[in-house]
């Protein structure tokens, strides 16, 4: 299958999903991140592209992740790739380095004997022995056997310190371009796209997903230092687990039987659990649970008593045109009557929020 055929197939799948409840628009794709509408010509014009749900490092170890594609507008795909995607992979490299004692890339290292000393600053390759806690600091040498990336004054002070054999404090800085908050945004973007891949427009059109999109779009904006959208631990956020999950991403529908708790979606991958809001048609849920959980009526009181959370793995996806009871649960999204913003080739300009 050629790339164009593949993109057309993705377009077909998204357009069909949309038509099921939004009949006025015929052949249209709406970017799940910026909500811009695109006609099929956008494939030729390269304004829509193949969007991987998961970044390369996950796709390399998981066939399941490799097979998850959605269409994205070229702008969103490009920025997501260089921001969240890149940072979540860097974060994993840093974590691996900490676990093995071989920090990823060369680092700025500060050494000092006393708290108020001016630190010796070296650009160095560091490794540490996890057993005896010893640290090796080394630098790239030039022809005169001087470190290439560190100032001569710092090297001289380092040699002096080294000869004295006194105990020192060592601070290893993270790589300069490391932005952990963008790594989080990368995981949340992947989880959101997995929700779209699995459940389609019915899921993302609900207003409860607006803050998620706003959060993702803020992470695209280089001028915003801190994301103003606060994560809501009830049903929106990311958690790191000690034991972790498989590299195969999994999407779960979570139903807590504790009064006042909301249902939510959860994506699991490696050490991360990412929660997304999931709003549904209230009267539909209980009949579905009665249908799919054997002996549910008998189990219900003890589930409530124990404040248990029941969860269901979601194996479906809208790219293959799957229909499932989640469609009934989500119902028909309420869509504003005004047309979606059209892509840049039309007269109107796009105004991103
Ligand atoms: Zn977009």
Quote the ligand 1 centre to 286 CA distance (angstroms): 36
Quote the ligand 1 centre to 28 CA distance (angstroms): 14
pLDDT band at 346 (very low <50, low <70, confident <90, very high): very low
For residues 335 and 353, give the distance between their C-alpha atoms in angstroms, rounded to a whole number.
18
Residue range 24-67, pLDDT digits in tens: 767 899 999 999 999 999 999 999 999 999 999 899 999 999 99
Token look-up 């700025």 returns 108
- Is 348 a member of any domain? no
Q: With pLDDT > 70 as the criterion, what percentage of the chain qualifies?
A: 94
Local structure of residue 322 (DSSP, 8 states) = -
Q: Which of 11-15, 93-97, 223-227, 290-294 has the lowest mean pLDDT?
A: 223-227
- Shared domain check, 289 and 261: yes
**Closest of 81, 53, 49, 85 to residue 68, by C-alpha:** 53
pLDDT band at 340 (very low <50, low <70, confident <90, very high): low
- Is 352 a member of any domain? no
pLDDT band at 341 (very low <50, low <70, confident <90, very high): low
pLDDT computed for residue 348 by the predictor: 42
Beta carbons of 74 and 97 less than 8 angstroms apart: no
Quote the ligand 1 centre to 74 CA distance (angstroms): 7
pLDDT band at 72 (very low <50, low <70, confident <90, very high): very high
Number of domains the chain contains: 2
- Shared domain check, 157 and 18: no
Ligand 1 (single-atom ion) residues, CB below 5 Å: 31, 33-34, 73, 76
Quote the ligand 1 centre to 78 CA distance (angstroms): 9
Local structure of residue 343 (DSSP, 8 states) = P
Which residues constitute the domain of residue 233? 3-93+179-330
- Is 350 a member of any domain? no
- Is 7 a member of any domain? yes
**Closest of 25, 28, 17 to residue 343, by C-alpha:** 28
Geometric angle at alpha carbon 279, from 339 and 313, rounded to 5°: 115
Q: Which of 140-149, 186-195, 258-267 has the lowest mean pLDDT?
A: 140-149
Start-to-end C-alpha separation, the chain = 36
pTM tops 0.85, yes or no: yes
- Shared domain check, 79 and 40: yes
Quote the ligand 1 centre to 107 CA distance (angstroms): 35
Quote the ligand 1 centre to 234 CA distance (angstroms): 27
- Shared domain check, 201 and 72: yes
pLDDT computed for residue 287 by the predictor: 95
């Amino acid at each position: 299958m050629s790339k164009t055929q593949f993109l057309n197939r993705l377009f077909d799948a998204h357009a069909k999903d949309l038509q099921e409840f939004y009949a006025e628009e015929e052949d249209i794709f709406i970017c799940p991140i910026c909500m811009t509408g695109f006609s099929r010509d956008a494939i030729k014009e390269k304004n829509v592209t193949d969007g991987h749900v998961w970044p390369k490092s996950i796709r390399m170890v998981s066939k399941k992740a490799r097979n998850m594609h959605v269409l994205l507008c070229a702008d969103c795909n490009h920025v997501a790739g260089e921001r969240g995607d890149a940072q979540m992979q860097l974060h994993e490299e840093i974590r691996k380095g900490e676990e093995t004692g071989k920090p990823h890339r060369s680092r700025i290292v500060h050494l000092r004997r006393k708290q108020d000393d001016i630190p010796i600053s070296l650009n160095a390759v560091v490794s540490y022995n996890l057993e005896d806690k010893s640290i090796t600091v080394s630098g790239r040498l030039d022809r005169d056997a001087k470190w290439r990336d560190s100032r001569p004054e710092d090297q001289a002070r380092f040699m002096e310190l080294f000869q004295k054999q006194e105990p020192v404090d060592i601070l290893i800085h993270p790589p300069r371009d490391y932005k952990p908050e963008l790594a989080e945004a990368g995981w949340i973007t992947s989880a959101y796209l997995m929700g779209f891949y699995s459940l389609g427009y019915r899921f993302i059109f609900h207003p409860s997903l607006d803050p998620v999109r706003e959060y993702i779009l803020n992470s695209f904006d280089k001028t915003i230092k801190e994301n103003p959208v606060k994560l809501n631990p009830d049903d929106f956020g990311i958690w790191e687990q000690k034991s972790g999950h498989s590299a195969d991403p999994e999407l779960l529908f979570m139903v807590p039987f504790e009064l006042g708790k909301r249902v939510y979606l959860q994506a699991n991958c490696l050490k991360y659990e990412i929660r997304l809001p999931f709003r549904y048609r209230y009267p539909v849920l209980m009949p579905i649970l009665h249908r799919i959980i054997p002996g549910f009526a008998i189990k219900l009181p003890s589930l409530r008593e124990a404040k248990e959370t029941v969860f269901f793995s979601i194996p479906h996806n809208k790219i293959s045109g799957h229909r499932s009871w989640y469609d009934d649960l989500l119902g028909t999204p309420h869509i504003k009557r005004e047309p979606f913003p059209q892509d840049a080739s039309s007269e109107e300009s796009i105004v991103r929020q």
